[in-house]
Amino acid sequence: MMDRKSVLWDEPRIVAEQFIHNMEKVIVGKRQAIELIFIAVLAGGHVLLEDVPGVGKTRLVKALAKSLGCSFKRIQFTPDLLPSDVTGVTVYHAQKGTFEFRPGPVMANLVLADEINRTSPKTQAALLEAMEERQVTVDGETRALDHPFIVFATQNPLEFEGTFELPEAQLDRFLLRVRLGYPSAAEEIAMLGKLQEHDPLEDLRPVMVRDELVRLQEDVRSIHVDEAIKQFIVETVQATRRHPDVQLGASPRASIAVMRAAQAAAFIKGRSYVVPDDVKELLPYTLAHRIVLLPEAKWKHGTADYIIRQIVDRSGVPVHPLTSAVN
């Protein structure tokens, strides 16, 4: 296990490299996606993995759970899944004459909501309270979830038959939306080599334990964010609400998400302060899934990513805040 004094506290870049190296034993050619996932974990935010089947979404989350040494549960979302299958249920114990709560799979540090858009809106809604307030209410009793608590949801954006579109309120609760994409030919050949005789996922070992992750998340919150950076974030988010092609812009929760993600990005780069590039690099992943385009804009631009790039290109970048940073 790592020495927190020499690594976790003093050299966050080494921590990030150890995590990425461990993940790359299983996931080939997806360094950017792995970095984004680690940023979300450090920021304590949920992640929507949106891509076509077979590119490694579920495998990525399984490797993540093993790397972090946290409790992990998987929920396979299907049309007949009930809310109680997610949150848990209270049952009567005849021998004891008492009611007992049987926790659902949401009671874990890392929860994989696999193919989340295949279940009904009622069951999807069972995650709303958990994702926002880190608690669940069953039969009128509220129970706090373990810390950390992070949901990783997967969905196939191109498959519509038998699926239910995620509501805006739920999309807004995801810190990042990440796409893996197809590997290159060389990466796919390397993947075949790794899996030819043995699956490296079976031998993957943790690079940290839960308590170390919690302390890292606390360290990330202390990363300095200059007032000029905060203004840049808010102006960018508000620009999504004024854009002529946008029906519903990003919420204030989006501003918080951008700031938290930027703090985590600065942290893994070994800085105690956020710079404008930290924000700009993360805007497509933190904002695009939170805005709703007008119907004609969908036909013209396809996705919201174009709108975010347009807003960023038109916005003024704040002065480098190094001189006012608190180290």
Which domains are assigned to the chain? 223-327 (1.10.8.80)
Rounded to whole angstroms, the Cα distance separating 237 from 231 reads: 10
> How far is residue 256 from each of residues 83, 176, 186, 198, 249, measured CA to CA in Å?
28, 12, 39, 42, 15
Q: For the chain, what is the mean pLDDT? A: 87
User: What pTM, to 2 d.p., does this model score?
Assistant: 0.88
Per-residue pLDDT at 322 exceeds 50: yes
* Mean predicted confidence (pLDDT) in 42-71: 91
Answer positive or negative: Cα dihedral of 249, 223, 110, 140: negative
Which tens digits make up the pLDDT trace of 265-274? 999 998 999 9
Confidence of residue 238 (pLDDT cuts 50, 70, 90): very high
- Apex 138 CA angle, 133 and 139, nearest 5: 140
Check if the beta carbon of residue 70 is closer than 8 Å to that of residue 148: yes
Beta strands in the chain (DSSP E): 46-50, 72-76, 88-93, 98-103, 110-114, 135-138, 141-144, 150-155, 174-178, 246-248, 292-293
Write down the pLDDT at residue 324.
46
Q: Collect all residues with Cβ–Cβ distance below 8 Å to 79 and sequence separation of at least 6.
A: 118, 119, 120, 162
Rounded to whole angstroms, the Cα distance separating 6 from 8 reads: 7
Q: Which of 25-29, 33-37, 40-44 has the lowest mean pLDDT?
A: 25-29
Which tens digits make up the pLDDT trace of 4-14? 443 344 568 88
Write down the pLDDT at residue 257.
97
- Apex 286 CA angle, 290 and 239, nearest 5: 65
